[in-house]
A and B are shown apart, each in its own frame.
Chain A
Amino acid sequence: MRYTVRAAALRESGNGSPHLKFSFFHLMPYTHLDLESHDWPFPNRYFDAAKASALYKTYVESMIHAESCGFDWVGCNEHHFSPYGMMANCNLIGGALAYPTKRVKIAMIGNLVPLNNPIRVAEEYAMLDCMSGGRLVAGLMRGIPHEYLAYNIPPGESWERQREAVQLILKAWTEPEPFGWEGKHFQYRQVSIWPKPMQKPHPPLVISASNADSAKFAAEMRATMGMVLLADLPSGKECIRIYKETARANGWEPAAENVLVGMHTCIAETDEQARRQLAHGLKYFDEVLMGGLQASQRIVLQKTRYFENEESRDRWKSRLDKRRTLTLDEAIERGTVLCGSPETVVAQIKRIHGELGHGVFNFTVKVGTLPDEVIRRGMELFRDRVHPHVRDL
């Protein structure tokens, strides 16, 4: 009963209001591995389908539960060939969330559009938008370097494919007549998707904006800028500045809700408990889930034009290096991790929001092997002791 009353109150506070929004984001990692790093792609001889089946169930149930805990969005994304995330197609998870939830935005952040058939992305997103009654947030992401190996797409074409695919998807959603597309990377003679999205002219977009180039592109496309795993506050601030400046040059003014900032999050009864649990989860995250990516990443970065210039490439590398070398305490101090008791996390949220002024806070809750019961308890603490103090920011 308590959940129901709280959920109703939260509904009244409503989406679409200027309040700070919270997104419950799930990477859906495979957590049954020894602490052993492997190069990418991770050999799937280690994969146990029965264990994965149980994980999917747990993960989806916690995402559904997020609605009653005050979250405004539930989100997930796409990754390939590794235990980092078991969502080759996150839209399948979106479909599983559409009916059991009623209020939360279904945030796919998102499909890796340069790797996929853009028409298929447009179709599946339109389905999700109709199925969810117009609650889709459509992430159109470029993907991280090694993902290009998975689908044998030249990493050097990454930016061009991203730009073309996003424009094609928008066309597919908004054209009133069958049309053809003569692009450099995509060619179609007759497109007329069924269904079209419920939201008009199309669902809100999220585009990754973790560097200057991507921040500019997100603004040009009038998308919400997404920094799903914030590197540090100064670089986050700089990306937001570039994004807003580009948006104004393109004739529009972003709202706070057009800036999404995300980070690993762990809320427990005490600071000590939260730190201990998150440190445990992070060990698996860093050593198993992230650790094996290095060789493939290095090859793509060194041998291809995935990044258009050296500055962007170096910034990305230094971001990764920084992540690896920071201790949890340092990350908390730098404002790139939310971790602690409810009162501590309230203070952390206020501090980071005060610095960045963003409108959507994206919590990555399943960090490595962080136990699901700890996450569940953290969601309830968020509902009862965090959200009431930060929702009006």
Chain B
Amino acid sequence: MQPQQRKVPLSSGELTYFVAGEGRPIVYLHPAGGVRWTRVLEGLAKSFALHVPVIPGFDGTSAHGAVTSMQGLAKLMGEFIDKVIGGTSDVMGCSFGGCVALWLAAERPDRVDHLVLECPAVFRPGGARPADAEALKKLLFLHPEKLPPESKPPEQEAANRRMPPHYRATDDPDSELLAKTASIDKLTLILHGTADRMIPKESVQLLKSRMPRSYLVYVWDAAHAIEVDQPERMLSLVESFLQRSEGFMVNWGTLALDAG
């Protein structure tokens, strides 16, 4: 299923996005490396109407002059949902995108249904992000052999990784965001790779302790990029969560009265 690239005019400028699949809407907010069409996204597009906005400034798009903070970015994503989806949507964010997703749930709760935070970059220890591309690759992937064929030039990926500071995303705990997390009442699935050396487990533990309706699941044999390292397991888990809500906790076996 090939994603279609589209553009939508928003109050601060034009936003590029991809859409694939049909069904219940889900918005995927990409990590600092930009959009990567992984097997998880391909799988989600088989059951959901998947929307993948390109955060302004990433993947060769222009930054919006008026949007210079994570909070501002979250409001922009809320506007995107207003205009393109027109109701609530499940939201999934990966790493940097996970932080945007959290802000979105805090700022525009009326637009968020289920929330999936994949190794959200709420805070990370200083120096955990090496400048060297190979070192970064080792940090991101436990199984780089599973990477989908990459069409993105390395310069583009490097330019993408310079964007988070533009939105004042820092490595320190975002105290303003953390203060808001306790009031986020969305059903939330937090994922962390057992071999993630980019985001410390304490970061996701903190989120789990503060978010009243959250579930933390460790994905074994995965580093930071869970989608690449363990796509089948992650997809199955996320789909189960989105389709069954709290019921995802139950092992339904083959004799479920109501699998929905």
Q: Give me the interface of A with B, judged by CB distance under 8 Å.
A: 164, 167-168, 171, 175-184, 186-187, 189-190
Taken together as a complex, chains A and B put the C-alpha atoms of A178 and B220 apart, in Å, by 16
Pair B217/A164 contact, Cβ less than 8 Å: no
Q: Would A181 and B205 count as touching, CB distance under 8 A?
A: no
Of the four ranges (under 10, 10 to 19, 20 to 34, 35 or more), the interface on chain B belongs to 10 to 19
Q: Are A178 and B233 in contact (CB under 8 A)?
A: no
A133 CA to B208 CA, complexed, in Å? 31
- With A175-B205, A189-B249 as contacts: A181 and B218 at CB distance below 8 Å: yes
A residues in contact with B37, CB < 8 Å: none
Q: Are B221 and A171 in contact (CB under 8 A)?
A: no
The chain B residue sitting closest to A170, CB to CB, is B194
What are 18 A-B contacts with C-beta separation under 8 Å?
A164-B221, A167-B220, A171-B194, A175-B205, A176-B205, A177-B205, A177-B208, A178-B216, A179-B217, A181-B218, A182-B220, A182-B230, A182-B233, A182-B234, A183-B221, A189-B217, A189-B251, A190-B249
Q: Check: B209 CB closer than 8 A to any chain A CB.
A: yes
Contact residues of B between 192 and 231, Cβ < 8 Å to A: 194, 205, 208-209, 215-221, 230
Check A182–B219 contact: CB distance below 8 A: yes
Partner of B220, one of A164, A177, A189: A164
Which residues of chain A come closer than 8 Å to B159, judged between CB atoms? none
Query: Using Cβ atoms and an 8 Å threshold, which residues of chain A touch B248?
Result: 189
Residues of B within 8 A of A184 (CB): 220-221, 233
A157 CB to nearest B CB, Å: 13
Instruction: Tell me which residues across on chain B come within 8 A of A177, comparing CB atoms.
Output: 205, 208-209, 216
Is B237 on the interface with A (CB-CB < 8 A)? yes
Q: How far is the CB of A117 from chain B (nearest CB, A)?
A: 13
Interface of A is mostly: mixed
Q: Which residues does chain A contribute within 8 Å of B250, judged by CB atoms?
A: 189
Taking the nearest CB of chain B, how far is it from the CB of A172, in angstroms? 11
Closest 6 A/B residue pairs (Cβ): A180-B217, A183-B220, A189-B249, A177-B208, A182-B219, A179-B216
- When distances are taken between beta carbons in the complex, the residues of chain A under 8 Å from B205 are 175-177
Across the interface, which residues of B come within 8 angstroms of A179, CB to CB?
208, 216-218
- Measured between alpha carbons, how far is A171 from B201 in the docked complex, in Å? 11
User: Do A167 and B208 form a contact, CB below 8 Å, given A177-B216, A182-B237?
Assistant: no
Task: Verify B221–A180 contact, CB threshold 8 A.
Answer: no
Distance A175 CA – B205 CA, assembled complex (angstroms): 8
Interface string of B182-199 (1 = CB under 8 A from A): 000000000000100000
> B166-195 toward A: CB 8 Å interface, digit per residue (1/0)?
000000000000000000000000000010
Q: How far is the CA of A171 from the CA of B193 in the complex (A)?
A: 12
Rounded to whole angstroms, the CA-CA distance of A274 and B245 in the bound complex is 67
Query: Which A residues are CB-close (under 8 A) to B216?
Result: 177-180
Q: A168 to chain B: closest CB distance in Å?
A: 7
User: Would you give the 0/1 interface string for B65-80, flagging 1 where the beta carbon is closer than 8 Å to chain A?
Assistant: 0000000000000000
Give the residues in chain A near B194, CB-CB below 8 Å. Answer: 167, 171
Cα A271 to Cα B152 in complex, Å, equals 76
Q: How far is the CA of A187 from the CA of B218 in the complex (A)?
A: 10
Contact A182 B215 (CB under 8 A): no
- On whether the beta carbons of A182 and B218 are closer than 8 Å, the reply is yes
Inter-chain CA distance A167–B103, complex, in Å, is 32
Which residues of the partner chain A approach B249 to less than 8 Å between Cβ atoms?
A: 189-190
Which A residue's beta carbon lies closest to that of B215? A180
Contact of A180 among B209, B218, B230 (CB under 8 A): B218
CA distance A225 to B249 in the complex (A): 37
**For the complex, what is the distance from the CA of A175 to the CA of B233, rounded to whole Å?**
22
Q: Name, among B215, B217, B249, the residue most crowded by chain A CB atoms within 10 Å (CB to CB).
A: B217
A residues near B220, Cβ cutoff 8 Å: 164, 167-168, 181-184, 186
Distance (whole angstroms) from the CB of A297 to the closest CB of chain B: 29
B209 partner residues in chain A, CB cutoff 8 A: 176-177
Q: List 11 additional A-B contacts (Cβ < 8 Å) besides A183-B220, A189-B249.
A: A168-B220, A176-B209, A177-B208, A178-B216, A179-B217, A181-B217, A181-B218, A182-B230, A183-B219, A183-B221, A183-B233
A183 / chain B contacts, CB cutoff of 8 Å: 219-221, 233
Q: Could you tell me the distance in whole angstroms from the C-beta of B131 to the nearest C-beta in chain A?
A: 23
Q: Which residues of B contact A168 (CB under 8 A)?
A: 220
In the bound assembly, the distance between CA atoms of A189 and B16 in angstroms comes to 36
B208 close to A182 (CB less than 8 A):
no
Residues of chain A lying within 8 A (CB to CB) of residue B215 = 178, 180, 189-190
